[in-house]
Amino acid sequence: MGLDANDVDVSPVEATLWVLAIAVVVALAVPWFLWRDATIVAGLPAWIWWHIVWMGVASLVFYGFSRRAWGLGVEL
Number of domains in the chain: 1
pTM listed for this prediction = 0.74
Residue 15 placed within a domain: no
Query: Residue 3's pLDDT band (boundaries 50, 70, 90)?
Result: very low
Q: Quote the percentage of the chain above a pLDDT of 70.
A: 84
Cβ neighbors of 38 (< 8 A, separation 6 or more) are 45
Domain range enclosing 64: 33-76
Residue 24 placed within a domain: no
Residue 64 placed within a domain: yes
Pairing between β-strand 40-41 and β-strand 44-45 as defined by DSSP bridges: antiparallel
**Torsion angles phi and psi, residue 45, rounded to 5:** -60, 150
Residue 18 placed within a domain: no
**Cα 27-5-56 angle, rounded to 5 deg:** 35
Cβ neighbors of 45 (< 8 A, separation 6 or more) are 37, 38, 39
Residue 16 placed within a domain: no
Residue 28 placed within a domain: no
